[in-house]
Protein backbone atom coordinates (compact mmCIF):
# COMPACT_ATOMS: atom_id res chain seq x y z
CA UNK A 1 0.00 0.00 0.00
CA UNK A 2 2.87 2.39 0.82
CA UNK A 3 4.28 1.88 -2.70
CA UNK A 4 0.88 2.72 -4.19
CA UNK A 5 0.60 5.92 -2.16
CA UNK A 6 4.13 6.92 -3.18
CA UNK A 7 3.23 6.29 -6.81
CA UNK A 8 0.17 8.53 -6.50
CA UNK A 9 2.17 11.22 -4.75
CA UNK A 10 4.90 11.15 -7.41
CA UNK A 11 2.22 11.80 -10.03
CA UNK A 12 0.48 14.53 -8.02
CA UNK A 13 0.84 17.16 -10.73
CA UNK A 14 -0.53 14.79 -13.36
CA UNK A 15 -3.39 13.82 -11.05
CA UNK A 16 -4.25 17.45 -10.38
CA UNK A 17 -4.31 18.10 -14.11
CA UNK A 18 -6.57 15.11 -14.79
CA UNK A 19 -8.93 16.02 -11.97
CA UNK A 20 -9.04 19.70 -12.92
CA UNK A 21 -9.72 18.82 -16.56
CA UNK A 22 -12.68 16.55 -15.84
CA UNK A 23 -14.21 19.05 -13.38
CA UNK A 24 -13.72 21.97 -15.79
CA UNK A 25 -15.49 20.15 -18.62
CA UNK A 26 -18.28 19.15 -16.20
CA UNK A 27 -18.83 22.78 -15.20
CA UNK A 28 -18.87 23.83 -18.84
CA UNK A 29 -21.16 21.15 -20.28
CA UNK A 30 -22.67 19.19 -17.33
CA UNK A 31 -20.59 16.21 -18.49
CA UNK A 32 -16.98 15.86 -17.38
CA UNK A 33 -14.70 14.10 -19.85
CA UNK A 34 -11.11 12.91 -19.56
CA UNK A 35 -9.35 10.91 -22.26
CA UNK A 36 -6.78 9.40 -19.89
CA UNK A 37 -8.21 9.47 -16.38
CA UNK A 38 -6.73 6.07 -15.46
CA UNK A 39 -3.07 5.21 -15.83
CA UNK A 40 -2.51 2.97 -18.86
CA UNK A 41 -0.88 0.22 -16.81
CA UNK A 42 -3.74 0.28 -14.32
CA UNK A 43 -6.35 0.14 -17.10
CA UNK A 44 -4.61 -2.91 -18.58
CA UNK A 45 -4.46 -4.72 -15.23
CA UNK A 46 -8.10 -3.96 -14.46
CA UNK A 47 -9.14 -5.27 -17.86
CA UNK A 48 -7.16 -8.47 -17.26
CA UNK A 49 -8.88 -8.87 -13.92
CA UNK A 50 -12.31 -8.24 -15.45
CA UNK A 51 -11.79 -10.86 -18.15
CA UNK A 52 -10.47 -13.40 -15.64
CA UNK A 53 -13.52 -12.96 -13.43
CA UNK A 54 -15.83 -13.14 -16.43
CA UNK A 55 -14.28 -16.42 -17.60
CA UNK A 56 -14.63 -17.75 -14.05
CA UNK A 57 -18.37 -16.93 -14.28
CA UNK A 58 -18.19 -14.50 -11.35
CA UNK A 59 -20.40 -11.91 -13.06
CA UNK A 60 -24.14 -11.59 -12.38
CA UNK A 61 -26.97 -10.33 -14.56
CA UNK A 62 -27.46 -6.60 -13.91
CA UNK A 63 -30.83 -5.31 -12.80
CA UNK A 64 -32.88 -2.15 -12.45
CA UNK A 65 -34.40 -0.61 -9.33
CA UNK A 66 -33.24 -0.88 -5.72
CA UNK A 67 -34.13 -2.88 -2.64
CA UNK A 68 -37.56 -4.49 -3.00
CA UNK A 69 -37.98 -2.89 -6.44
CA UNK A 70 -34.93 -4.65 -7.87
CA UNK A 71 -35.62 -6.75 -10.96
CA UNK A 72 -33.85 -8.01 -14.06
CA UNK A 73 -35.31 -7.07 -17.43
CA UNK A 74 -33.13 -7.98 -20.38
CA UNK A 75 -35.40 -5.92 -22.65
CA UNK A 76 -34.11 -2.86 -20.77
CA UNK A 77 -30.63 -3.85 -19.63
CA UNK A 78 -28.58 -6.81 -20.84
CA UNK A 79 -25.11 -6.35 -19.33
CA UNK A 80 -23.53 -8.38 -16.53
CA UNK A 81 -21.64 -6.93 -13.57
CA UNK A 82 -19.20 -7.69 -10.76
CA UNK A 83 -18.99 -5.38 -7.73
CA UNK A 84 -15.55 -4.16 -6.65
CA UNK A 85 -14.71 -4.26 -2.96
CA UNK A 86 -11.58 -3.69 -0.89
CA UNK A 87 -12.50 -6.88 0.95
CA UNK A 88 -11.42 -8.79 -2.16
CA UNK A 89 -7.89 -7.62 -1.36
CA UNK A 90 -7.08 -7.48 -5.07
CA UNK A 91 -3.93 -5.41 -5.64
CA UNK A 92 -5.17 -3.69 -8.80
CA UNK A 93 -8.63 -2.99 -7.44
CA UNK A 94 -6.99 -1.45 -4.38
CA UNK A 95 -4.88 0.86 -6.56
CA UNK A 96 -8.10 1.88 -8.29
CA UNK A 97 -9.71 2.61 -4.91
CA UNK A 98 -6.68 4.71 -3.91
CA UNK A 99 -7.11 6.61 -7.16
CA UNK A 100 -10.78 7.26 -6.40
CA UNK A 101 -9.97 8.30 -2.85
CA UNK A 102 -7.65 10.94 -4.28
CA UNK A 103 -10.36 12.14 -6.67
CA UNK A 104 -12.99 12.34 -3.93
CA UNK A 105 -10.56 14.28 -1.73
CA UNK A 106 -9.96 16.70 -4.61
CA UNK A 107 -13.71 17.17 -5.25
CA UNK A 108 -14.49 17.78 -1.60
CA UNK A 109 -11.60 20.21 -1.23
CA UNK A 110 -12.17 22.25 -4.40
CA UNK A 111 -15.92 21.90 -5.05
CA UNK A 112 -17.33 21.22 -1.56
CA UNK A 113 -19.30 18.23 -2.90
CA UNK A 114 -19.64 16.44 0.42
CA UNK A 115 -18.91 13.00 -1.04
CA UNK A 116 -18.78 10.40 1.73
CA UNK A 117 -18.37 7.15 -0.21
CA UNK A 118 -18.64 5.37 -3.53
CA UNK A 119 -19.56 2.10 -5.22
CA UNK A 120 -18.15 0.64 -8.43
CA UNK A 121 -18.58 -2.48 -10.51
CA UNK A 122 -17.11 -4.00 -13.63
CA UNK A 123 -19.62 -3.99 -16.50
CA UNK A 124 -19.40 -6.42 -19.40
CA UNK A 125 -21.61 -5.93 -22.46
CA UNK A 126 -21.52 -8.97 -24.72
CA UNK A 127 -22.12 -8.53 -28.42
CA UNK A 128 -25.75 -7.46 -28.87
CA UNK A 129 -26.05 -5.96 -25.37
CA UNK A 130 -27.45 -2.52 -24.45
CA UNK A 131 -28.98 -0.46 -21.65
CA UNK A 132 -32.05 1.59 -22.49
CA UNK A 133 -32.52 5.26 -21.54
CA UNK A 134 -32.54 5.77 -17.78
CA UNK A 135 -31.57 7.99 -14.85
CA UNK A 136 -29.02 6.71 -12.32
CA UNK A 137 -30.55 8.16 -9.17
CA UNK A 138 -33.35 6.14 -7.56
CA UNK A 139 -36.67 7.89 -6.89
CA UNK A 140 -36.67 6.93 -3.21
CA UNK A 141 -32.93 7.29 -2.54
CA UNK A 142 -30.92 10.38 -3.47
CA UNK A 143 -27.53 9.20 -2.19
CA UNK A 144 -26.02 8.79 -5.67
CA UNK A 145 -24.56 12.24 -6.35
CA UNK A 146 -22.29 11.69 -9.36
CA UNK A 147 -22.03 8.93 -11.96
CA UNK A 148 -18.66 7.81 -13.31
CA UNK A 149 -17.77 5.47 -16.16
CA UNK A 150 -14.22 4.45 -17.05
CA UNK A 151 -13.72 2.46 -20.24
CA UNK A 152 -11.37 -0.49 -20.81
CA UNK A 153 -11.73 -1.01 -24.57
CA UNK A 154 -8.70 -0.78 -26.83
CA UNK A 155 -8.91 -0.18 -30.59
CA UNK A 156 -12.60 0.71 -30.50
CA UNK A 157 -14.06 2.07 -33.76
CA UNK A 158 -17.45 3.59 -34.58
CA UNK A 159 -18.65 0.39 -36.26
CA UNK A 160 -18.34 -1.38 -32.89
CA UNK A 161 -21.28 0.63 -31.50
CA UNK A 162 -21.70 0.61 -27.72
CA UNK A 163 -21.56 4.39 -27.40
CA UNK A 164 -22.89 6.21 -24.36
CA UNK A 165 -25.72 8.54 -25.40
CA UNK A 166 -26.40 11.35 -22.92
CA UNK A 167 -29.61 13.33 -23.34
CA UNK A 168 -29.27 17.05 -22.76
CA UNK A 169 -32.29 19.34 -23.08
CA UNK A 170 -31.86 20.10 -26.78
CA UNK A 171 -29.19 17.70 -28.00
CA UNK A 172 -27.89 14.17 -27.56
CA UNK A 173 -24.20 13.73 -26.73
CA UNK A 174 -22.56 10.60 -28.12
CA UNK A 175 -19.42 9.32 -26.34
CA UNK A 176 -17.34 6.42 -27.64
CA UNK A 177 -16.14 3.87 -25.01
CA UNK A 178 -12.44 4.27 -25.74
CA UNK A 179 -9.82 2.84 -23.39
CA UNK A 180 -8.87 5.14 -20.50
CA UNK A 181 -11.71 7.59 -21.10
CA UNK A 182 -13.74 8.72 -18.09
CA UNK A 183 -17.23 10.24 -18.08
CA UNK A 184 -18.56 12.16 -15.05
CA UNK A 185 -22.01 13.71 -14.50
CA UNK A 186 -24.68 14.28 -11.86
CA UNK A 187 -26.71 11.15 -11.26
CA UNK A 188 -29.96 13.07 -10.75
CA UNK A 189 -29.88 15.21 -13.89
CA UNK A 190 -29.00 13.47 -17.14
CA UNK A 191 -30.80 10.52 -18.67
CA UNK A 192 -28.53 8.32 -20.77
CA UNK A 193 -28.30 4.94 -22.46
CA UNK A 194 -25.74 2.47 -23.76
CA UNK A 195 -26.35 1.90 -27.45
CA UNK A 196 -26.26 -1.57 -28.97
CA UNK A 197 -22.75 -3.00 -28.79
CA UNK A 198 -21.44 -5.04 -31.72
CA UNK A 199 -18.54 -6.57 -29.81
CA UNK A 200 -17.69 -7.10 -26.12
CA UNK A 201 -17.58 -3.77 -24.28
CA UNK A 202 -15.97 -3.35 -20.86
CA UNK A 203 -15.97 -0.63 -18.24
CA UNK A 204 -15.84 0.26 -14.59
CA UNK A 205 -19.06 2.03 -13.68
CA UNK A 206 -20.13 3.54 -10.39
CA UNK A 207 -21.35 6.37 -8.26
CA UNK A 208 -19.95 8.88 -5.78
CA UNK A 209 -22.34 9.01 -2.85
CA UNK A 210 -23.48 11.40 -0.13
CA UNK A 211 -24.79 8.88 2.39
Helices and strands (H and E) in the chain: how many: 4, 11
CATH number where 16 lies: 2.60.120.620
H/E segment holding residue 28: helix 12-29
Closest CA to 163 of 198, 211, 136: 198
Pairing of strands 191-194, 80-83: unpaired
pLDDT in tens, the chain (211 residues): 444 445 555 555 467 777 898 999 999 999 999 988 888 889 999 999 999 999 999 999 998 877 667 788 889 999 999 999 999 999 999 999 999 999 999 999 999 999 999 999 999 999 999 999 999 988 878 899 999 999 999 999 999 999 999 999 999 999 999 998 999 999 999 999 999 999 999 999 999 999 8
What is the model's pLDDT at position 59? Answer: 98
Please tell me the total count of domains within the chain.
1
The residue range of the domain holding 15 is 2-209
Phi, psi of 55 (to 5 degrees): -65, -30
Amino acid sequence: MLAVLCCLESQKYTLEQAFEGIVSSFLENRVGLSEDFLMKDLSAKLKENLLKLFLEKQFKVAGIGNDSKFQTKKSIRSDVIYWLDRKHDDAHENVFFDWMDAFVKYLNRTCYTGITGYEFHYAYYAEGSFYKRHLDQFKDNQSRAFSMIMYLNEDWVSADGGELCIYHKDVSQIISPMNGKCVFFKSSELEHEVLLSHKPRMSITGWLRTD
